[in-house]
Structure 1
Amino acid sequence: MTSEITLFVNPTAGRGRGARAARPAAAALRDAGFSVRTVLGDDPQDALARARTAVEEGTGALIAVGGDGMANLALQAVVGTGTPFGLVAAGTGNDFARALGMPLREPAAAGRMIADALKCGRVRDIDLGRVGDRWFGAVLASGFDSRVNDRGNRMRMPLGRFKYDLAMVAELAAFKPLPYRITLDGGEVREIEATLVAVGNGPSYGGGMRICPGADLTDGLLDITVVGECSRATLLRVFPKVYRGTHIDHPAITVLRAATVELSAEEVTGYADGEPVGPLPLTARCVPGALRVVGP
């Protein structure tokens, strides 16, 4: 493995935390004897093109520095190449970093962990989800949570997670369950009124909400959490349990598992790792061993 590795940096992640996190992470990697090249970009498309070029030129590893959006962008460059992927969490949610067991907002510690793993050859292959030509590591969200994302993305103020808290309150006041058609592995079909349907390659989204608590990055399956028809009062009572993953015991919630799932509902956008991937219907597939990761 070459000693040159690439830091793929989002300087605006976490209101500037991405740029600040890159420095101690790079220092830790250099202290371990690695040559570090930094890739930025004028916009996401330019950054992705530069990351792909680094991978094609044989970089020893592609290390994303930022939040879930940056991690998701990096996946598009490295998936299927065999180039090790690492993650220095510096965003707001950091759910993929949680799934990988990486330190959160401790860039120097993450850099040291990645350096040690690269030197020891501590890499492993994990599954990814795929929707069309878009890869995701954590969760494909749809329904109530994607409507919250839609509303939050339209809001200019306030900044940060509080914007989405306000969007959730506003959406909750008007939201009604939606008729879904869920097709599992091309065969079993379920038609249900659902508040939300989340498809998890990893267990959490939204900054630690364990919506798919049993999701395993290496089992070749997607976990599908279906929150059925329920009142606003019930939703508010169940919501705090999502952070512990104990919400799945509620009778309104069903957990399914499949290698492929098609979701169909009217006027619903799917969000993968917090990034919009398009309106339903969408088909998500689990691709076993799609990504080589370096870390704990």
Structure 2
Amino acid sequence: MTSEITLFVNPTAGRGRGARAAQPAASALRAAGFSVRTVLGEDAEDALARARAAVEGGTGALIAVGGDGMANLALRAVAGTGTPLGLVAVGTGNDFARALGLPVREPAAAGRMIADALKCGRLRDIDLGQVGDRWFGTVLASGFDSRVNDRGNRMRWPSGRFKYDLAMIAELAAFRPVPYRIRLDDGEIREVEATLIAVGNGSSYGGGMRICPGADLTDGLFDITVVGDCDRTTLLRVFPRVYRGTHVEHPQVTVVRAARVEIAAAGITGYADGEPLGPLPLSARCVRGGVRVVGP
């Protein structure tokens, strides 16, 4: 592996933590003997083009500095290339970094761990989700949770996670279950009234909510969590259990596993790794060994 590696930096992640985190991470990597080049972009598409150029130029690894959105952008540059991906997680959710066992909001520690892993060859291939030409590492969300995202993204105040808490309260007031149509890879079609459907390559989203607690990044399958027709009282009682992953024990929650799934519902946007994919219907497939990652 070449000693030249690339830091892929989002300067706005975590209210500026991305820019501040790049320096200690780069220092840790340089102290380990790596030559570090930093890639910034004027916008997401420009940054992606620069990251892809670095990968095509033979960089030894692409290290994304930011949150889950930055990790998702980096996946678009490295998926299927064999170029290792590392994460210096300084965003709001950081679920992909947690899934890989990397430090969260500790850029120097993450830099040291990544440097050590690269030098010792601790690399592994993990699965990715793919929808069209888009990739995701954690969860494709749809339903109540994606409506909270929709509302939160429209709110200009407050900032940070608090606005999504307010958005959730507002969505609860207007909440109604949604008629879904699900097609699995064996051809089975299910029509259900559901609160939400989450397609998990990884186990968590939203900063540690273990919506698909049994998801395995290396089994070639999605864990698809279906939260059925719940009233508000039931939803409020079940939802806090998602942080422990015990919500799947509730009778209104079912989990199925499949390598491919299509979900359809009217008026619902799909989000993957917290980024909007577009309106349903969406078809996702689990790509076994879709990306090589750096980690413990």
Q: Quick check: TM above 0.5?
A: yes
SS of equivalent residue, structure 2 residue 46: helix
Which residue type is aligned with residue 20 of structure 1? R
**Superposition RMSD on alpha carbons, in Å?**
0.5
Residue matched to 2:100: 100
CA displacement, residues 207-240 of structure 1 (integer Å, 9 cap, x when unaligned): 1000000000000000000000011011001111
- Please report how far the alpha carbon of residue 175 of structure 1 lies from its aligned counterpart in structure 2 after TM superposition: 1.1
Within a 5 Å distance, the mapping from 1:18-167 to structure 2 comes to 18-167=18-167
Corresponding residue of 2:173 = 173
Alpha-carbon deviations, 1:54-98, whole Å to 9, x = none?
A: 000000000000000000000000000000100000000000001
Cα deviations across residues 118-162 of structure 1 (Å, max 9, x unaligned)?
101110000000011100000000000000000000000000000
1:14 alignment partner, SS class: helix
Per the TM alignment, residue 186 of structure 1 is displaced from its structure 2 partner at its CA by 4.9
The answer on whether the counterparts of 1:186 and 1:261 sit within 8 Å (CA) in structure 2 is no
Q: Which runs of 4+ in 1 moved over 4 A?
A: none
SS in 1 for 2:167: helix
Q: Secondary structure at the match of 1:50?
A: helix
Match of 2:258 in 1: 258
Please give the TM-score of this superposition, normalised by the length of structure 1.
0.99
Alignment-derived partner of residue 8 in structure 2: 8
Q: What is the letter of the counterpart of residue 65 of structure 1?
A: V
Please name the residue that 1:282 is paired with. 282
Cα distance between partner residues in 2 of 1:102 and 1:184: 32
Distance apart, 1:117 and its partner CA = 0.6
Shift of 1:295: 1.0
Aligned length: 296
Task: Give the distance between the partners of 2:20 and 2:225, measured in 1 at CA.
Answer: 36
1:235 aligns with 2:224: no
- Give the SS at the match of 2:13: coil
Q: TM-score, normalised by structure 2?
A: 0.99
- Distance (whole Å) between structure 2 residues aligned to residue 255 and residue 291 of structure 1: 25
CA distance in structure 2 between the partners assigned to 1:101 and 1:226 by the alignment:
27
How does 1:186-265 map onto structure 2 within 5 Å?
Answer: 186-265=186-265
User: Which whole-Å CA distance do the structure 2 matches of 1:225 and 1:125 have between them?
Assistant: 24
The letter of the residue matching 1:130 is: Q
User: Taking every aligned residue pair, what percent have the same amino acid on both sides?
Assistant: 83
Following the alignment from structure 1 to structure 2, what is the Cα–Cα distance between the partners of residues 294 and 209? 23
Unaligned runs of 5+ in 2: none
Distance in structure 1 (CA, Å) of the matches to 2:257 and 2:17:
36
Once residues 230 and 117 of structure 1 are traced to their aligned partners in structure 2, the CA distance between those partners, rounded to angstroms, is 45
Whether 2:182 is the aligned partner of 1:182: answer: yes
